[in-house]
Amino acid sequence: MTEKRTIRAEDLYLLKSVADPQLAHNGVDCVFIETVMLEEENKYSSHLYYINVTEKSKPVQWTFGESRNHSPRWSPDGQSVAFVSDRSGKGQIYVLAVNGGEARQLTKCPNGATNPVWSPDGTKIAFNAALKNGESLSTNISEEKKDKRPVPLEVDKMKYKSDAYGFWQGNFNQVAVIDVRTGEAQLLTSGEHDYQLQSWSPDGKHITVTADLSEDKDQSFGSDVYLIHAETKETKKLTGSTGYFGNATWSPNGRYVGMLGHESEYKNATLAKIWIYDMETEKFNCLTRDSDLLIGDYAIGDFQQGAVTPGILWGEDNHSFYFLATDHGNTVVYYGSLDGELYPALLDNQHVYGLSTGGKVDQAVVAISKPNHPGDLFLLKVTTGEMEQLTQVNEEFLQEVVLAGAEPIEFNSSDHWDLHGWIMKPVNFKDGDKVPLVLEIHGGPHAMYANSYFHEFQCLASQGYAVLYINPRGSHGYGQQFVDAVRGDYGGKDYEDIMDAVDYALANFDFIDVDRLGVTGGSYGGFMTNWIIGHTNRFKAAVTQRSISNWISFYGVSDIGYYFTDWQINSGLNDIETLWRHSPLAYVDEMETPLLILHSEKDFRCPIEQAEQLFIALKDRKKTAKFIRFPEANHELSRSGKPNLRISRLNYITGWFNDYLK
C-alpha cells in the first residue's frame, strides 16, 4: 500500500467544491454546482451537475468549458433549468432543457444578469440586473462606448465604494421579468434604489423583493420586504422599517411569507430570527423571538465556492418548514412550524452549507463539510434520520493525502464563561513529540469557526504544527449575550478568552512546546493578532492578515468605517482617545514579536493603509517585520482571490512560521 502524502497549499488546484444543491419538486432530480481552480488560466471554473437521488447514480456534467456557471433553478415542471453563466462575457441568464441540447441565452443585459426566479406557470423568469438610470435591459455591442480613457470619479455620498464591487459606477440593482419563449423583457422596478429579488407568489400575481427606500441611505442600514404586483407594479411594504429583513419565501398556498431578519437591537451583532407575514390577517410575527438560536449559516472557512444559505423551506402542508441554524460550532438543519415548534432534523458535528427540500417534508439534499472532509452532497431522510452520500467529488484526492482531525475542547474563561474550540495535532504526530503551536483567530468578529474543512489549518498541520482555534466572545453560535459581548470591548475580554485558550491548551496537551508559539488571523483576527503582540511577548512569530491597526483612520477609509466603528467600538471621531486606546498601533513600542503583514491592494474593508501604518511604525523602531502586498485582490483573498495569490498567501504563512518556530 502506497503511503499517503501530506497536504500542500497547491492542493487547492486539485480540490473540488460542490455547493448549491437544488432538488426538483419531484424529489428525485437534483442539480448542483462543482467549482475548480484552473491553474494555467489562474481562474475558477464552475459547472452544473445532475444526479438522480433515488438511483444514486454517478453525477452527470451538464455544462462545459472554462466559464463560471452557477445559480441553477428548476422550472416548475422540472423540464428546464435556468442558470447564470459568464460564457459570453458578463454573467447572463440561460435556460437548459433537461432532455438535452444547448443552453439558450435569455438575457443580454449591459452589466449582466443574476438571480433567476421562475414564475409559477414556468412562462417567465424574474431576475436582477444592475443598470444606470435610463439604461436598457438589452445592449448592442456596436453602441457601447469605445473611448476607454480614464475619467474622474464623482463622489457625493458616503457609500461610494464596497469591498465586493469596488467604486460605485452609478448602477442600481433592479428587478426585471423576461418571457422564456419570446425573450421579451421588462423592468419591474426603477429609480435610484437597489432592489434584491426574493421569490414569486404561488398564484403568480406578486413578486417579493427587498430594498431600502429611505432617502438618506448613508445613515440607513435596514432592509424591508415589499410585494410588487407582477402586472401593475403596485407596491406594498410588508415590514415596518424596523430592521433588516430578507430571504423571503412563500408557503405553497400563498397565505404566508416567511423571512429571516432582525430589528437591529444589537446592530450587526443581532441574531437573525424567523418572521412570518400572514397575507390574510396582515399580521407580522417573529416565531423565534424567545429563542437564542441563530438562523442561517455563519460558519467561516476558506474553501467552499458558491455556497447558498436558503431562507425557510416550506413543506407542502403550508405549516411546517426547514432551515439552517448556527449552533455551538456547527451548522445544522432545523424543523419548524407555525405553531412555534423548533427541533433539529440533523444535529451533528458538521458544517451544513447547503440545503434543498424540493418542497417536501420527508427528505432533503444537504451539502456537508467536516474538518477532514472538504464537502459533499448527502440525502437526508428526515423521518428516519438516515444519511446517504450522493457525491464523492474529492474521493481520489482524499485517497492520496492524510488530513488532520480536529479535537473539540471546552473550558471556562477566567471570568467563568463557557468557551469552545478545537485543537489539531500535526499530521503524522507521534507520542512523545514536542511540537510548535499556531493560534488561529477568525474575523468578523461576528462569525464562527466550525466543524468544517479549513485548507489553511490543514497546511499548517501538514508542516508539523498543532493548530488551536476557538470562538471567543463576539462569535456567533452561542447566543445573543455572547455575540454582543465584544462590542465596546475590543482587546478586553475577547483577548482574555484567547489567552485563556492558550493557557488551557498548554495545561492539557503536553506535546505543545511553550517556547514555540505562533499566532495569526485575518480582519478582526488580524486586529487581534496585532493587539496580542502589543500586549504579550509569549509568541515567537505572528502573521497579521487584512488587519485593523488604527481605528482613527479606519473610520474614514473603510467602506464600512464610519458606522462599523460606532457599532463596534461604541465611539466616533468625537472621541479620539477611545479610538486610539483600542488601536494596536498605540502599542507598537511594546511589539517585539517578528511580524509578517499580509494585505491586499484593493481591500476596501480594511484598507491597505492600515498595514502601511503598522509596517512603517515597526520598521522605524527597528522591529522585525515584513510586508507582503497582494495586487488585484480585495478583503476576500483567502476565500475567493486569484488562485495563484491564494497559494502564495498560504506559502508565506507557513514559510514565516517555519523561519521562526522550527
Q: Which domains does the chain have, with CATH numbers?
A: 398-661 (3.40.50.1820)
C-alpha cell at 64: 462545459
With CA atoms as reference, report the closest residue to 330 among 300, 365, 372.
300
Give pLDDT, residue 148.
81
Give pLDDT, residue 1.
53
Percent of the chain having pLDDT more than 90? Answer: 95
Q: Residue 18, exposed/middle/buried by CB under 10 A (0-12, 13-18, 19+)? A: buried
Give pLDDT, residue 145.
54
With CA atoms as reference, report the closest residue to 527 among 552, 550, 561, 496.
550
Please tell me which residue in 523, 547, 558, 583 is annotated as part of the active site.
523
Q: How far is CA 183 from the centre of its chain?
A: 33
Give pLDDT, residue 56.
76
Tell me the per-residue pLDDT of 214-240, one tens digit each, with 9 for 90 and over: 999 999 999 999 999 999 999 999 999
Tell me the per-residue pLDDT of 105-153, one tens digit each, with 9 for 90 and over: 999 999 999 999 999 999 999 999 999 988 999 865 444 456 789 999 9
Tell me the per-residue pLDDT of 498-531, one tens digit each, with 9 for 90 and over: 999 999 999 999 999 999 999 999 999 999 999 9
Tell me the per-residue pLDDT of 271-305, one tens digit each, with 9 for 90 and over: 999 999 999 999 999 999 999 999 999 999 999 99
Give pLDDT, residue 142.
45
Question: What single DSSP character describes residue 455?
Answer: H
Q: How confident is the model at residue 100 (pLDDT cuts 50, 70, 90)?
A: confident
Q: How far is CA 644 from the centre of its chain?
A: 21
Residue 262 has pLDDT above 90, yes or no: yes
HEC assignment per residue over 13-79? HCCCEEEEEEECCCCCEEEEEEEEEECCCCEEEEEEEEEECCCCCCCEECCCCCCEEEEEEECCCCC
Tell me the per-residue pLDDT of 188-217, one tens digit each, with 9 for 90 and over: 999 999 999 999 999 999 999 999 999 999
Q: Side by side, which strands form the sheet with 124-131?
A: 113-118, 124-131, 172-179, 185-187
Going along 529-589, which residue ranges are E strands? 541-545
Q: Rounded to an integer, what distance in angstroms lies between the CA atom of residue 622 and that of residue 167?
A: 37
Give pLDDT, residue 147.
74
Q: What's the whole-number average pLDDT of the chain?
A: 96
Tell me the per-residue pLDDT of 424-456, one tens digit each, with 9 for 90 and over: 999 999 999 999 999 999 999 999 999 999 999
Question: What single DSSP character describes residue 192?
Answer: S
With CA atoms as reference, report the closest residue to 56 among 349, 295, 392, 305.
392
Q: Rounded to an integer, what distance in angstroms lies between the CA atom of residue 484 and that of residue 407?
A: 27
To the nearest 10°, report the CA torsion of 354, 358, 363, 368.
-10
With CA atoms as reference, report the closest residue to 174 among 109, 264, 224, 229.
109
With CA atoms as reference, report the closest residue to 106 among 134, 76, 85.
85
DSSP-derived 3-state class of residue 581: helix
Q: Side by side, which strands form the sheet with 104-105?
A: 69-74, 80-85, 92-97, 104-105
Q: Rounded to an integer, what distance in angstroms lies between the CA atom of residue 299 and that of residue 30?
A: 25
Task: Compute how many other C-beta atoms are within 10 angstroms of the C-beta atom of residue 115.
Answer: 18
Q: Rounded to an integer, what distance in angstroms lies between the CA atom of residue 300 and that of residue 469?
A: 12
Residue 270 has pLDDT above 60, yes or no: yes
To the nearest 10°, report the CA torsion of 232, 234, 238, 244.
100
b (16+ CB within 10 A) / e for 442-476: bbbbbbbbbbbbbbbbbbbbbbbbbbbbbbbbbbb
Q: How confident is the model at residue 311 (pLDDT cuts 50, 70, 90)?
A: very high
Residue 376 has pLDDT above 90, yes or no: yes
Please tell me which residue in 47, 476, 635, 648 is annotated as part of the active site.
635
Tell me the per-residue pLDDT of 37-77, one tens digit each, with 9 for 90 and over: 999 999 999 999 999 999 978 999 999 999 999 999 999 99
Catalytic (active site) residue 351: no
User: From residue 333, how far is each of 276, 345, 351, 352, 524 by CA, in Å?
Assistant: 19, 5, 10, 7, 28
Catalytic (active site) residue 57: no
Question: Cβ distance 64 to 46 under 8 Å?
Answer: no
The CB-side HSE value for 413 (13 A sphere, CA atoms) comes to 20
Tell me the per-residue pLDDT of 569-578, one tens digit each, with 9 for 90 and over: 999 899 999 9
With CA atoms as reference, report the closest residue to 630 among 650, 614, 654.
650
